[in-house]
Chains A and B, each alone.
Chain A
């Protein structure tokens, strides 16, 4: 058992490195209003975050991550470019389902984080190179991905707008995504609607239902998606290799699928910037489905640093681009280009103690 103050000390080391990289330190609240988090993450957050009630402020949550308060703080008064760093506890509960785990995961642990808000093509590479440099002594496996590439691939499928939007909406939910794709690849079954003598009830209006019915009827005429496209998507998702190999496989794929060329160009450009910043591309894994299974709102570059041979460990560090989250938080749809990541000093402490 490593004392908490030792983990704190390691966290402080990362924090000071983040400050040296130009970040201003911020100290967000621990108790956050639950409604913002619920609106953003949905019910899943209730299964993960500790909830409490305040007689005046209503439902509050113990900070499950720093992203939301840091973005809100920036939106309230920051100007781009801006770099922030922080160190503090996050709190996560774990619903075990049917059986209690033998080794429950930590329900409170430190995160040291760095967030960059900037209209700058180099921002992804800057953040990754910083994490890569700070984590170099621990010989972690670095995996990267690009949800922007995945989303561009979906946008390039020959589908109706309604079908494309449905796929894009569920791009972070592989099961539902797969079901939709399968349905779109088959001839549409004629849709019969149930009769109902019941009076209208509830907040969803009749007009909303009629709009959806019209959409479903229009959808019946849609031609099934040629299996060649799901095969190409499968090929894309299967790409998992050191960056130079992955890029070669991507350009190979782009020969059949030229619409991917701009997105692949961005991956290549990023790899070039990383090389320029001293990260050897062949030491970095590119996994096209990385991020497909991560949290919603990562919509561009994603990365994880994993400790090899530590079964059951979460990533030691994770991060990525989350412009989609700032758009939702910004209400008026004002998205801010945002990329950042966190390191778990507690896991670093265990690696150092080993």
Chain B
């Protein structure tokens, strides 16, 4: 039996259902809207598991589901060494979101990462502590900034309403995902032109070991036509 993990609610679930339907596999929730159980038609030996998108990376890595749909951002943030545990099967063309670095729009002298690095250095000298970046993507942001040799900053954890942290003076900049940039603009923030940390989209992933089995390969070739 192949267990397929799918986000349990919202647009992501609907678009996932559409993506599978276009490939001849009908996914549906059984019973009421409140019940987290599902049905699969058009493929044998596949069961649907409805899960929070944020838990799908962990369940995939642990092998409790063989296949799962979630954002590349979540897999890369939550799974250290993700390529050792999961395989990217197919980008699905929706759920686009960019992980970016944004600063107050009023910073007229800040256009790019070099400006940002210089401002962080000045800020630390002037305020006696490191410039704060609010984010929930700690590993991705830290690794990316380390790769670009930006120092003089610190991360502060923000699990929601991250765009509001600058106005509240709990951070000087933010690193968050955005699709249209509207929330950023509404909060008087601007994106640094050369600070795209990750372009994420909904992606079908497989558990690395399970992806080698005949059963999973047969189902995937049905989906991808390969």
Contact = CB atoms under 8 A, between A and B. Distances in A.
Interface residues of B, number: 46
B104 interface: yes
Contacts of B111: 194
B185 to A, nearest CB: 9
Interface stretch (A91-99, A112-120, A140-148, A151-159): A91-99
A103 interface: no
A202 B142 contact: no
A175 B105 contact: no
B36 interface: no
B153 interface: yes
Interface string B98-109: 000000111111
B81 A42 contact: no
B153 to A, nearest CB: 7
Contacts, number: 116
Contact of A209 (B84, B108, B146, B148): B108
B154 A43 contact: yes
B112 to A, nearest CB: 11
A100 interface: yes
B82 interface: yes
B14 interface: no
B149 A170 contact: yes
Nearest to A94: B80
B214 interface: no
Contacts of A95: 80, 139, 143
Nearest to B105: A198
A203 B118 CA distance: 16
A interface residue count range (under 10 / 10 to 19 / 20 to 34 / 35 or more): 35 or more
A315 B224 CA distance: 49
B194 interface: no
B122 A100 contact: no
A31 interface: no
Interface string A184-199: 0000000001111011
Interface in A202-237: 202-204, 206, 208-209, 211-213, 216
A103 to B, nearest CB: 13
Contacts of A200: 104, 106
B151 A42 contact: yes
Interface in A60-110: 95-101
Nearest to A296: B151
A98 B88 CA distance: 12
Interface stretch (B4-12, B25-33, B124-132): B124-132
Given A44-B146, A176-B149, A213-B108, A202 B169 contact: yes
A201 B123 CA distance: 15
Contact of B105 (A166, A169, A173, A196): A196
Given A204-B123, A212-B118, A39 B129 contact: yes
B90 interface: no
Counting chain B CB atoms within 10 Å of each CB, which of A38, A101, A201 scores highest? A201
A196 B106 contact: yes
A164 interface: no
Nearest to A207: B126
A216 B114 CA distance: 13
B143 A97 contact: yes
Given A96-B80, A179-B114, A38 B122 contact: no
B195 interface: no
Given A47-B146, A100-B81, A166-B118, A196 B172 contact: no
B106 A99 contact: no
A43 B153 contact: yes
A180 B48 CA distance: 54
Nearest to A172: B151
B81 A201 contact: no
Contacts of B104: 198, 200-202, 204
B152 interface: yes
A46 interface: yes
Contacts of B131: 204
Contact of B119 (A96, A194, A212): A212
Contacts of A216: 109
Ordered nearest first, which 7 A-B pairs have the shortest CB separation?
A100-B81, A198-B105, A100-B84, A198-B188, A96-B81, A173-B149, A176-B149
Interface of B: 76, 80-85, 104-109, 111, 114, 117-119, 121-123, 126-127, 129-131, 138-139, 142-143, 145-146, 148-155, 166-167, 169, 171-172, 188
17 contacts: A95-B139, A96-B81, A97-B80, A97-B81, A98-B76, A100-B80, A100-B81, A100-B84, A170-B149, A174-B149, A175-B148, A196-B107, A201-B105, A203-B169, A206-B106, A209-B109, A216-B109
Interface of A: 38-39, 42-44, 46-47, 95-101, 166, 169-170, 173-176, 179, 193-196, 198-204, 206, 208-209, 211-213, 216, 296
